[in-house]
C-alpha cells in the first residue's frame, strides 16, 4: 500500500517457473526516490542482479513498470517501460512503449511486474484485477504480432461474451527465435530496442493481457484537471509539439537532418543522401498518410497510418526512414513502408535490423563476408528480414547484430554501434554532443538515453554542433531531465516544450542567434545546476511535470527534486551496468565517427569523444574509469 495517490500501491513478483505471484517490497521512500517506470526498474535490477546473470538465464528479470501519472489523464502519460538484461549488449536495457498495456495494468490495480524464471511451455498470461491466469500458448507460438493480438482479443471476448477493454503486449517470431534485437509490441507501438522481445521468448512468454476496473487515485483532482488542460493547450501551441510532430511526426526531421548534414547515409559514411526528398516526411505526409494517430491520452499524435497492400497500418518513424532509406541507399518510400510493417509484424527493432543490414552490405562490398547483400539492392530485403526472424541461412547470423558480426568477420570500424546497440539515424560527426551521448548512454548507442543533444545542436536550436564546449555538462543535464520525464510515465516529447516557442519558430531572430552563440559558454553554469540542483527549488512554467507530480500524487516535487531523481536514476542504471563490466573503456564509438572526418577538408567534422568523456565523468562526479564511487552512490541514497 502507499500513502501517495497516482500509484496503485502494488508491485508484484511473477515467478514463471512456478506460476506464483507474490508482493515485491516497494516502499513510499522508494517512490519518493525513484518516482516510477524506468528508474524504479533500474533500482530493482540493482538490488537483485549480482553480475553473473545473462540475458537468457532464468534469473534474468523482466520489469514492466508504469509511472504515477499513467492513467491520471496527464498528456502523453499512458506509457510503460520494460527493463531487463539485453541479449544484444549484455547489460541493462529499458524500452519505453506507448501501447495500451501500462494503462490497463494500472486498471488491474498494479504499478509494476517483476518477472523471473521461465514458463515450462509457451504461455500467455491474463491479468484481471490483480488475479493471474497462466494459459498455454502453443497454438499462438509462431503467429505474427497482429494475428496473435487479434486472437487474444477474440479469446478475451469469447470468455466474457462481450467486447473486453484490455491492454496487451506480445512478441512475434523474432522474439520466439531469440533474435537479439527482437521487440515487444503493444497494439501498434513497440518496446523496440536492445532485444526485450528475445528475453520474453527465452522465458517462453508469448503475451500478456491486462484488464480491470480500478480507478487511478488523484490527490487533488481540481488542480490536476486545470493543470492538464493548460498543459495540453501549451503543447498544442508549441511549434514542435503542436505543429511539426502532428503534421509530419518524427518523419518531418528527415529534411532538416539532410540540411544539417546529420542524416546517416550509406552506413554512416556520409551525412547527406542525394535522394532524401523521395523518402522525406513531406512526401510521406502528402502522398501516403491516411490519418494521424497517437498513443492513449496524447494531444500531440505524432504517429500516422499508411496503406500497405490494402491495409491501414502504422507508418515509419524518422529512424526507419533514415536507416532503411539513405542508410542502405534506397530511395523507394513504398518499400520502407512495407518493410516497417513487416518488421513490426515479425516483432523486430527497425533500427538494429536496418543498421545490421547496412553493416552487412558494407562487409560484403569490402570482401569481409560474402553474403549477397549490396547497397541499393532491395529485391530480397523482405526475405532477409524474414530469414532473420526465423534464423534461416545468413539470417541466423544477422540476428546477432552488428557488433557480433564485426567481431566474427572484421569491420569493427564501421559497425555503427556502442556497447552493442546500433545507433539511431542521427549522424554525430556534425552533432558532437549527440556523439558523446551515444557513447556514454547506459543502454548503448541510444539517442534518447544519450540526452538527445541533437535538438540543441541542430534540430531545435543551433548551438555550434562541432564544439565540445559545454556539451558534457549539457549532456548530463539533458540525460537527467529525460530520465525524470520517463519516470512519470510520460512521453519524452512532452519535454520538447521546455524550449521557448519563439526560439524554435524564429531561428533567425537576434535573440535566438544570441542564445545559440552563448550556449557553448554555459558549461560552468550548467555544471553548477548539475552539482547543486537545490538552487532550482521551484516549478518551471515550461516543465509542468513537477507540478503534475505534486497535484496527482501528493508527493513534494519541484525542479530540484526532479533533476536529482533523474540523476539518481542515471547513476543507479550505471551502477547495475558496472556489475556487468561496463566502464570508460566501453563508452566508445566506431572509429568511422571518431577518426574519420565526415568532410575530408574539415577535420572538425568528427566526434572528439575522449575530450568530452573526461569532462562528462567529472561533471557526473564519477571516477576516472567512468563509474560512480561508493561515496557517490551513498550521497544519492542508492545504497
Ligand atoms: S507524442 Fe507520439 S510517441 Fe509521444 S505519446 Fe504522443 S503519439 Fe505517442
pLDDT at position 123 is 98
Position 61 pLDDT exceeds 90:
yes
Average pLDDT over residues 105-116: 98
Q: What is the pLDDT of residues 514-533, one digit of tens each?
A: 999 999 999 999 999 999 99
CA of 550 to the centre of ligand 1 (A): 23
Position 304 pLDDT exceeds 90:
no
Architecture of domain 248-422: Orthogonal Bundle (1.10)
CA of 496 to the centre of ligand 1 (A): 12
Closest atom, ligand 1, to C-alpha of 241? 1
Give the Cα separation of 78 and 230 in Å (integer). 18
Q: Which of 186, 250, 253, 300 gets mutated to test ligand 1 (max ligand atoms within 8 A of its CB)?
A: 300
Q: Report the range of poorest mean pLDDT among 259-268, 305-314, 458-467.
A: 305-314
Report the mean per-residue pLDDT for the chain.
97
Q: What confidence tier does 296 reach under pLDDT thresholds 50, 70, 90? A: confident
Q: Which of 188, 294, 315, 448 gets mutated to test ligand 1 (max ligand atoms within 8 A of its CB)?
A: 294
pLDDT at position 512 is 96
pLDDT at position 130 is 83
Q: Which of 298, 304, 488 gets mutated to test ligand 1 (max ligand atoms within 8 A of its CB)?
A: 298
Q: Percentage of residues in the chain with pLDDT exceeding 90?
A: 97
CA of 491 to the centre of ligand 1 (A): 6
Closest atom, ligand 1, to C-alpha of 301? 7
Bridge partners (DSSP) of residue 81 are 65, 96
pLDDT at position 297 is 87
DSSP character at residue 113: E
Q: Which helix (H) or strand (E) holds 579?
A: helix 559-579
CA of 251 to the centre of ligand 1 (A): 13
Identify the CA nearest to 605 among candidates 596, 614, 613, 617: 596
Average pLDDT over residues 203-207: 98
Q: What confidence tier does 618 reach under pLDDT thresholds 50, 70, 90? A: very high
CA of 191 to the centre of ligand 1 (A): 13
Ligand 1, atom 5, lies closest to the CA of: 76
Give the Cα separation of 549 and 77 in Å (integer). 12
Closest atom, ligand 1, to C-alpha of 249? 2
pLDDT at position 337 is 97
Count of alpha carbons within 13 Å of 175, Cβ hemisphere only? 36
Position 290 pLDDT exceeds 90:
no
DSSP H helices in 317-445 = 318-324, 333-346, 350-365, 381-389, 395-398, 402-409, 432-440
Average pLDDT over residues 566-576: 98
320-339: buried (b, 16+ CB within 10 Å) or exposed (e) per residue?
bbbbbbbbbbbbebebbbbb
Q: Report the range of poorest mean pLDDT among 105-109, 387-391, 403-407, 539-543.
A: 539-543
pLDDT at position 134 is 98
Count of alpha carbons within 13 Å of 232, Cβ hemisphere only? 15
Ligand 1, atom 4, lies closest to the CA of: 491
3-state secondary structure of 31: helix
Q: What is the pLDDT of residues 130-164, one digit of tens each?
A: 899 999 999 999 999 999 999 999 999 999 999 99
Position 175 pLDDT exceeds 90:
yes
Output the ligand 1 site: residues, CB below 6 A: 76, 98, 294-295, 298, 300-303, 491, 493
Total-model pTM: 0.97
pLDDT at position 306 is 93
Sequence-distant (6+) residues with CB within 8 A of 142 are 173, 176
pLDDT at position 289 is 86
CA of 296 to the centre of ligand 1 (A): 8
Architecture of domain 11-211: 4-Layer Sandwich (3.60)
Pick one of 2.60.120.200, 3.40.50.150, 1.10.599.10, 3.40.50.720 as the CATH number of 428-635: 1.10.599.10
pLDDT at position 509 is 95
pLDDT at position 215 is 97
Domain ranges of the chain: 11-211, 248-422, 428-635
Ligand 1, atom 7, lies closest to the CA of: 294
If 0-12 CB within 10 Å is exposed, 13-18 middle and 19+ buried, where does residue 19 land?
middle
Q: Which of 489, 491, 545 gets mutated to test ligand 1 (max ligand atoms within 8 A of its CB)?
A: 491
CA of 70 to the centre of ligand 1 (A): 13
Amino acid at each position: 500500500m502507499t500513502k501517495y495517490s497516482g500509484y496503485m500501491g502494488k508491485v508484484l513478483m511473477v515467478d514463471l517457473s512456478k506460476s506464483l505471484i507474490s508482493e515485491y517490497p516497494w516502499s513510499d521512500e522508494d517512490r519518493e526516490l525513484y518516482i516510477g517506470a524506468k528508474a524504479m526498474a533500474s533500482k530493482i535490477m540493482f538490488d537483485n542482479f549480482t553480475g553473473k546473470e545473462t540475458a537468457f538465464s532464468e534469473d534474468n528479470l523482466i520489469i514492466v513498470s508504469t509511472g504515477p501519472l499513467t492513467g491520471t489523464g496527464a498528456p502523453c502519460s499512458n506509457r510503460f517501460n520494460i527493463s531487463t538484461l539485453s541479449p544484444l549488449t549484455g547489460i541493462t536495457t529499458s524500452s519505453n512503449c506507448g501501447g495500451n498495456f501500462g494503462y490497463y495494468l494500472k486498471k488491474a490495480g498494479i504499478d509494476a511486474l517483476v518477472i523471473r524464471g521461465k514458463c515450462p511451455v509457451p504461455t500467455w498470461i491474463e491479468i484481471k484485477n490483480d488475479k493471474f491466469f497462466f494459459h498455454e500458448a502453443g497454438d499462438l507460438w509462431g503467429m505474427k504480432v497482429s494475428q496473435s493480438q487479434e486472437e487474444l482479443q477474440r479469446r478475451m471476448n469469447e470468455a466474457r461474451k462481450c467486447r473486453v477493454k484490455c491492454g496487451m503486449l506480445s512478441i512475434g517470431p523474432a522474439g520466439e527465435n531469440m533474435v537479439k534485437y527482437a521487440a515487444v509490441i503493444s497494439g501498434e507501438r513497440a518496446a523496440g530496442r536492445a532485444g526485450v522481445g528475445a528475453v520474453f521468448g527465452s522465458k517462453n512468454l508469448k503475451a500478456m493481457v491486462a484488464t480491470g476496473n480500478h480507478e487511478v487515485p488523484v490527490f487533488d483532482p481540481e488542480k490536476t484537471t486545470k493543470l492538464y488542460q493548460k498543459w495540453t493547450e501549451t503543447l498544442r501551441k508549441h511549434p514542435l509539439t503542436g505543429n511539426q510532430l502532428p503534421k509530419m511526426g518524427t518523419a518531418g526531421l528527415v529534411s532538416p537532418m539532410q540540411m544539417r548534414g546529420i542524416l546517416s547515409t550509406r552506413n554512416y559514411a556520409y551525412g547527406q543522401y542525394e535522394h532524401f526528398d523521395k523518402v522525406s516526411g513531406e512526401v510521406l505526409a502528402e502522398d501516403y498518410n491516411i490519418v494521424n494517430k497517437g498513443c492513449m491520452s496524447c494531444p500531440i499524435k505524432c504517429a500516422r497510418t499508411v496503406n500497405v497492400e490494402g491495409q491501414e497500418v502504422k507508418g515509419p518513424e524518422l529512424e526507419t526512414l533514415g536507416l532503411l532509406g539513405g542508410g542502405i541507399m534506397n530511395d523507394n518510400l513504398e518499400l520502407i513502408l512495407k518493410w516497417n510493417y513487416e518488421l513490426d509484424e515479425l516483432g523486430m527493432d527497425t533500427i538494429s535490423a536496418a543498421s545490421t543490414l547496412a553493416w552487412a552490405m558494407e562487409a560484403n562490398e569490402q570482401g569481409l563476408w560474402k553474403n549477397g547483400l549490396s547497397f541499393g539492392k532491395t529485391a530480397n530485403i523482405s526475405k532477409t528480414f524474414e530469414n532473420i526472424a526465423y534464423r534461416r541461412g545468413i539470417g541466423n547470423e544477422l540476428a546477432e547484430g552488428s557488433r557480433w558480426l564485426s567481431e566474427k568477420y572484421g569491420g569493427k570500424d564501421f559497425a555503427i554501434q556502442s556497447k552493442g546497440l546500433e545507433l539511431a539515424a542521427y549522424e554525430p560527426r556534425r552533432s558532437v554532443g549527440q556523439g558523446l551521448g551515444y557513447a556514454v548512454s547506459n543502454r548503448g548507442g541510444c539517442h534518447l538515453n544519450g540526452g538527445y543533444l541533437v535538438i540543441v545542436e541542430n534540430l531545435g536550436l543551433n548551438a555550434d554542433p562541432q564544439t565540445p564546449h559545454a556539451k558534457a555538462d549539457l549532456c548530463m543535464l539533458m540525460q537527467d531531465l529525460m530520465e525524470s520525464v520517463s519516470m512519470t510515465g510520460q512521453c519524452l516529447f512532452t519535454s520538447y516544450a521546455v524550449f521557448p516557442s519563439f526560439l524554435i519558430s524564429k531561428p533567425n531572430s537576434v535573440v535566438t542567434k544570441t542564445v545559440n552563440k552563448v550556449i557553448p559558454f554555459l558549461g560552468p553554469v550548467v555544471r553548477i545546476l548539475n552539482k547543486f540542483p537545490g538552487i532550482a527549488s521551484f516549478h518551471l512554467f515550461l516543465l509542468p511535470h513537477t507540478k503534475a507530480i505534486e497535484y496527482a500524487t501528493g508527493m513534494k516535487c519541484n525542479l530540484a527534486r526532479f533533476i536529482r531523481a533523474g540523476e539518481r536514476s542515471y547513476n543507479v542504471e550505471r551502477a547495475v551496468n558496472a556489475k556487468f563490466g561496463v566502464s570508460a573503456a566501453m563508452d566508445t564509438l566506431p572509429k568511422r565517427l571518431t577518426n574519420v572526418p565526415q568532410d575530408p577538408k574539415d577535420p572538425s567534422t568528427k566526434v572528439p569523444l575522449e575530450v568530452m568523456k573526461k569532462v562528462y565523468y567529472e561533471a557526473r562526479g564519477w571516477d576516472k574509469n567512468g563509474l560512480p564511487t561508493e561515496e557517490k552512490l551513498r550521497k544519492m541514497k542508492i545504497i
